[in-house]
Amino acid sequence: MAEIAAGNADNRPSGSSFYAAMRILPRARREAIFEIYGFCRAVDDVADAHGPREPRLAALAQWRADVHALYAGEPPARLRGLVEPVRCYDLGREDFLAIIAGMEMDVTADIRAPDFSTLDLYCDRVASAVGRLCVNVFGMEAEAGTALAHQLGRALQLTNILRDLDEDAARGRLYLPREALEAAGIRIDDPALVLMHPALGAACAPVIERAKNHFRAADAIMDRSPRGAIRAPRIMAEAYKRILTRLVERGFSAPRVPVRLNKPLLLWILIRHALF
């Protein structure tokens, strides 16, 4: 679910697993997901644009006004594609606004070693909020869907943070939590210096454990849910668990070889969950 939020290196997950998962949806649901994706990509592009912060914050404020206009029955041209998905799948305004708020966290200042509480809020906004929109489209029951969005969104997001350490550092960002860094004896927050620190792996360990716990909780929810409603999130969960496993096997010492899943493996995961 979190993967829908972007297709870049900025912890709002990249596209291949997302597209594989959404391919199995019926056309109307798939198109609704892609409309949500388009919104997320647009606001993400604002957050990641180069240049002064004020114009980007103003652009995000305009997106917020556009969301309110959409729900007031006066959708601007760039959100007209969301009119039917909002109506058909009861998509919540507050989740679109939460996504914008998450992007604002990246624009207001470069995130560097947030505390666990701030990191969790960030994950909720840029990942679980996207999941809350998606589970409605998938057709999940409300309580289970909200719980899955909470758990799987955070699992995917934390995996991305671990996967994209180098690319985020190039943007001046460091999403590893301050408490984990300090527990590992790292008392700096300069991204480049942290990534060269010999204790980086120890600082990543609590994030890995949290991601695993969220994956386990998400699996338990999906095990109790109708198969047809959770096929897409199952695919994404399996893909991202494999990424996390490969990250752990690779380790975090420099130089870090990028971890991605190849297309044949993604196709195998897709076919497995589409047929069984």
Whether 19 has a pLDDT exceeding 80, the answer reads: no
What is the token pair recorded at 260?
């991605």
Domains of the chain: 2-275 (1.10.600.10)
Residue 272 has pLDDT above 80, yes or no: no
Residues 6+ apart with CB under 8 A from 221: 144, 147, 148, 151
Tell me: cis bond preceding 255? Omega within 30 of 0 counts.
yes
pTM of the model: 0.90
Residue burial 58-96, b: 16+ Cβ < 10 Å; e: rest? ebbeebeebbeebbeeebeeebebbeebbeebebeeebb
**CB proximity list for 48: less than 8 A, separation 6 or greater:** 8, 10, 106, 171
Please indicate whether residue 5 or residue 76 has the higher confidence score (pLDDT). 76
Q: What is the pLDDT of residue 8?
A: 41
* 144-201 pLDDT per residue, tens: 999 999 999 999 999 999 999 999 999 999 999 999 999 999 999 999 999 999 999 9
pLDDT at 9: 37
Residues 154 and 211: their CA atoms lie apart, in Å, by 7
Distance (Å, rounded) from C-alpha 28 to C-alpha 43? 23
Of all residues in the chain, what percent are helix, strand and coil, respectively (each to 5)? 75, 0, 25
- With b for 16 or more beta-carbon neighbours within 10 A and e for fewer, the 109-143 pattern comes to eebbbbeeeebbbbbbbbbbbbbbbbbbbbbbeee
CA distances from 9 to 33, 132, 174, 186, 258 (A): 21, 22, 12, 24, 11
Residue 26, pLDDT > 70, answer yes
Task: Give the amino acid at 77.
Answer: A
What confidence score (pLDDT) does residue 268 get?
56
Query: For residue 25, what pLDDT band results from cuts at 50, 70 and 90?
Result: confident
Burial (CB count within 10 angstroms: exposed 0-12, middle 13-18, buried 19+), residue 199: middle
User: What's the pLDDT at 18?
Assistant: 67
